[in-house]
Amino acid sequence: MDCVPVQVRVAGGGALCVAYEQVVAAGEAEGEAGSQLLAAAEAARPRLQQLARESHKYRAKRDRKVQRATFRDILQYFDEEEVEPMGVRVGAEQVWCSGWGARAAYGALAGALGGGLAALLPHAAPLRHALRLPRAPPQAAPRPPRLQRHLQNSAASKARTLARNKSRDKRCVALAV
C-alpha cells in the first residue's frame, strides 16, 4: 500500500479486506493463520488511516477522491465488520455486492468483459452464478422485422379508418331521419 499508483494501493486495501472477510467467514480467527492476518490488519490500521486522509497536491484530484473513499470504506469495515451493499445496474438487472469478495468478483468480470457483461448476462449461467443472480428470466419474443411492422401498422390504420367511416355513415343516416 506504499506504491505510487492509486490503483495498486486500492487493490492492496481491497485484497486485505477480502482476506480478512474470508478468515472471519470461515471462523479461522482463532487459528495461527487467522491470528497472523488479524495482527497484520491491526498493524496496518495507522497506514490505512493515513491513506484515508491523504491529500497530496501532486496527485490527480480523481485519484485522491477514489483513494480516500475506498480507504474510508476499508476502515469502516475493520471497525464494524460490515460493508454497505453496492448496487450496480447491468442491462435490465441489478447486481448487489454485499461484501468485499463480491465487489472484487464484479470488478474482475466487469474489467475483463467490459460492455459485453450486459450482453452475456442473460445467456451465461456460470456468469450469473458468479454474480449471485437467480436464473435468467424468459427471453421476450424477438422484434418483428421493419417491413412486417409497417404492414401491421398500415392494416391497423385502414381498419380504424373503415370503422370511423362506418360510424360517420350511421350518424349521417340518423340525422337525416
Domain count, the chain: 3
CB atoms within 10 A of CB 6: 19
Does residue 12 sit in the same domain as residue 71?
A: yes
Triad 120, 126, 128: Cα angle to 5°: 65
136 domain residue, yes or no: no
Asked, for residue 139, whether it belongs to a domain, the answer is no
Is 126 in the same domain as 159?
A: no
Any domain includes 119: yes
Q: What is the pLDDT of residue 41?
A: 78
Stretch 104-129: mean pLDDT? 86
Q: Quick check: 74 pLDDT over 80?
A: yes
pLDDT at 16 over 60: yes
* pTM higher than the cut 0.75: no
Residue-range definition of the domain harbouring residue 51: 6-80
Answer yes or no: do 122 and 171 share one domain. Answer: no
> Is the model more confident about 2 or about 114?
114
pLDDT category of residue 95 using cuts at 50, 70 and 90: confident
Q: What is the distance between the alpha carbons of residues 153 and 157, in angstroms, rounded to a whole number?
A: 6
Determine, yes or no, domain membership for 59: yes
Q: Map grid coordinates 501532486 to a residue.
A: 58
Residue 145 has pLDDT above 90, yes or no: yes
Residue bearing cell 505510487: 4
Query: Is residue 103 predicted with pLDDT exceeding 90?
Result: no
